[in-house]
Amino acid sequence: HTVELNHSPRFWDLVQRFEPQAREISAALRDARAYLPAWVLQPATA
């Protein structure tokens, strides 16, 4: 996120230049959240 500070189409175009399967990897990571224990998704405490 040093060039595009968001997840816009321009961001994904840039990422895909370095990792052609970036969208598929992102989708797999998003789907994997279903298998994480609830405590992992809790906000960190100081």
- Identify the CA nearest to 13 among candidates 2, 22, 24, 1: 22
Q: Which pLDDT score is estimated for 41?
A: 87
pLDDT reported for residue 2: 86
pLDDT at 33: 92
Instruction: List the domain boundaries for the chain.
Output: 9-41
Determine the pLDDT at residue 24: 94
Q: Supply the pLDDT for residue 17.
A: 96
The whole-angstrom separation of Cα 30 and Cα 27 is 5
Tell me what pLDDT residue 37 has: 94
Per-residue pLDDT reduced to its tens digit, 1-46: 788 889 899 998 999 999 999 989 999 999 999 999 999 889 888 7
